[in-house]
Amino acid sequence: MTANAAVAIAHANIALSKYWGKREGSGNYPAVPSLSVTLAGLATRTRVTFDGAAENDAFTLDGQVAAPAARARVVEMLDRVRRATGETRRARVESSNDFPTASGLASSASGFAALAVAAARAAGLDWDAARLSDLARQSSASAARSLFGGFVELPAGPPMPDGSETLSARPVAPPGHLPLVVFVCVTTEGPKALGSSEGMRKTMAESPFARAWLDEAPRLHARLRGALLASDFLELGELAEASAFAMHASALAAGVVYWTGATIDVLAAVRGLRAAGVRAYATIDAGPHVKVLARHEDAPAIGAALRDCPAVRRVIEARPGEGASLAGGEGGAE
Ligand code: DP6
């Protein structure tokens, strides 16, 4: 029997070596490789129901009808699933985040990973994680990584070594590989000014440092991957900071500014910790928040210092977690 409904859960991920910039042309292929850690917190739960009586696809997020632009990206993925199966029914997509959606914390990665898993299953597809990762990537490249748990990499786009057009993320190390804690320091509430797709498009088109970033990112990625596999936290932290700073330097030079004063204050707090001999490292995505990397043993001191920092409104403490999965048993249907 073809399932009509399925529910999936996926978690956000934080890139340690950043994806910033796409290959030219269609298909949403990243121009550089990236490596992330999937977090146990920050989850999206999505139910997809293909309904013969529905006239249009409908998308609600945290119980509210989503904005047209957000709905359009959901419909694009549903269309890909419909093309793969011959499914013609419209779908109801009900999504909820267990973190404040409007906080500007990245939610597209967990959102599109959960949607890929739920939509494919609801349409009767039994795709493996690699194929679902490729499906998620076409909507949002960082979402490809949330299909897998622990430490995950997404290679750069074509030409692919095997000549194929699919591009999936792949696990590099399991969640327990490093005793890592990620402190998500929320600096401002409210949605971010410029989405990452537009931010990277502007960077590639206008930044005098775009070429420097595209050349440097794969080198940083390779070194960071090596540091991860060697369980060298200090090297990993240095390289994660270097990747974030290089990405933001290229963006800044195109007038793409995600930082606020609070972002810089948290960066100063992290440097202050390091000056005092405490090993904390920072990374920043397409928004004002700072994510701080720590080892388990240093986490209490680092967490306390970050909570004391006036620029920090809230701290979410997260650890490496599992990849996306169906909820509510085997079929994901509830
Ligand atoms: C800064 O995956 O949101 O978080 O593929 O256009 O949807 P699209 O971009 P997205 O970009 C994420 C950028 C980043 C770095 C990263 O996660 O690697």
CATH of the domain at 62: 3.30.230.10
Ligand 1 proximity of 108 Cβ (cutoff 6 Å): yes
Question: Does residue 240 have its Cβ closer than 6 Å to ligand 1?
Answer: no
- Answer whether residue 266 is part of any domain: yes
Residue 106 clears pLDDT 80, i.e. is over it: no
CA distance 94 to 64: 9
Is 73 domain-assigned? yes
Q: Is the pLDDT of residue 209 over 60?
A: yes
* Domain end residue (candidates: 175, 195, 230): 175
Residues 139, 30, single domain; the answer is yes
170 and 304 housed in the same domain: no
Cα(227) to ligand 1 centroid in Å equals 23
In a shared domain, residues 167 and 266: no
* pLDDT above 80: residue 101: no
Q: What is the CATH number of the domain that holds 186?
A: 3.30.70.890
Answer yes or no: is the C-beta of 19 below 6 A from any ligand 1 atom: yes
How far is residue 328's CA from residue 258's CA, in Å, rounded to a whole number?
38
C-alpha separations of 283 from 50, 215, 297 in Å: 39, 20, 20
Given a cut of 60, whether residue 334 has pLDDT beyond it is: no
Query: For ligand 1, what atom is nearest to the CA of residue 142?
Result: 2
Q: Which of 281, 205, 203, 283 is nearest to 249 (CA)?
A: 203
Q: How far apart are CA 307 and CA 77, in angstroms?
A: 39
Q: Which of 150, 175, 200 is the last residue of a domain?
A: 175
Q: Answer whether residue 329 is part of any domain.
A: no
**Pocket lining: 196 vs ligand 1, CB cutoff 6 Å:** yes
CA 131 to chain centre: 17
* CA 283 to ligand 1 center in whole angstroms: 14
CB 4 within 8 A of CB 50: yes
Closest Cα to atom 2 of ligand 1: 142
Beta strand spans in the chain (E): 5-17, 34-51, 58-61, 64-65, 90-97, 151-154, 170-173, 180-186, 281-283, 290-295, 314-318, 325-326
Q: Which structural domain, as residue segments, surrounds residue 304?
A: 177-320
Does 124 lie in the same domain as 57? yes
Q: Which residue has the higher pLDDT, 330 or 221?
A: 221
d(CA 334, CA 329): 8
Q: Does 331 reside within a domain?
A: no
* Same domain as 135, residue 210: no
Q: Do residues 230 and 208 share a domain?
A: yes
Q: Is residue 334 part of a domain?
A: no
pLDDT band at 191 (very low <50, low <70, confident <90, very high): low
Task: Write the pLDDT tens digit of every residue in 294-327.
Answer: 999 999 999 999 999 999 999 999 999 999 999 9
Q: How confident is the model at residue 162 (pLDDT cuts 50, 70, 90)?
A: confident
> Is residue 326 situated within a structural domain?
no
CB 260 within 8 A of CB 284: no
Please give the structure tokens belonging to residue 217.
Answer: 């990112």
From the CA of 173, how far away is ligand 1's center (Å)? 21
Distance between CA 191 and CA 257 in Å, rounded? 14
Pocket of ligand 1, candidates 13, 16, 19, 23: which has the most ligand atoms within 8 Å of its Cβ, to mutate?
A: 19
Q: What is the mean pLDDT of the chain?
A: 94
Query: What is the CA(154)–ligand 1 centre distance, in A?
Result: 11
Structure tokens at 91: 């779908």
- pLDDT for residue 91: 97
Point out the domain boundary residue: 140, 175, 210. 175
What is the structure's pLDDT at 330?
A: 44
Cβ pair 237, 279 in contact under 8 A: yes
Distance 324 CA to ligand 1 centre (A): 18
Note whether residue 325 is domain-resident. Answer: no
Q: Tens digit of pLDDT for each residue in 237-281?
A: 999 999 999 999 999 999 999 999 999 999 999 999 999 999 999
Write down the pLDDT at residue 163: 80
Cβ 138 under 6 angstroms from ligand 1 = no
At 136, is the secondary structure helix, strand, or coil?
A: helix
Tokens of 183: 């402190």
Whole-number pLDDT of residue 298: 98
Q: Which residue has the tokens 């690699």?
A: 130
The alpha carbon of 196 and the centre of ligand 1 are apart by a number of angstroms equal to 6
- Residue 211 sits in the same domain as residue 64: no
Q: Indicate whether residue 216 lines ligand 1 (CB < 6 A).
A: no
Contact 320, 106 (CB under 8 A): no
Q: Which helix (H) or strand (E) holds 273?
A: helix 261-275
Least confident of 39-48, 76-85, 142-151, 156-165: 156-165
Given a cut of 70, whether residue 331 has pLDDT beyond it is no
314-318 vs 5-17, strand pairing mode:
unpaired
Round to whole Å and give the CA distance between 92 and 147.
22
Q: Is the CB of 28 under 6 A from ligand 1?
A: yes
Q: Are residues 119 and 219 in the same domain?
A: no
Residues 288 and 184 in one domain: yes
- Residue with CA closest to ligand 1 atom 12: 142
Provide the number of structural domains found in the chain.
2
Atom of ligand 1 nearest to the CA of 14: 17
Verify that 139 and 279 share a domain, yes or no: no
Q: Are residues 166 and 188 in the same domain?
A: no
pLDDT digits (tens, 9 = 90+) for 43-98: 999 999 999 999 999 999 999 999 999 999 999 999 999 999 999 999 999 999 98
Q: Are residues 217 and 254 in the same domain?
A: yes
Pick from 48, 30, 126, 20: which is nearest to 334 by CA? Answer: 48
> Is 332 within a domain?
no
What tokens appear for 3 in the block? 């399932």
Whole-number pLDDT of residue 1:
39
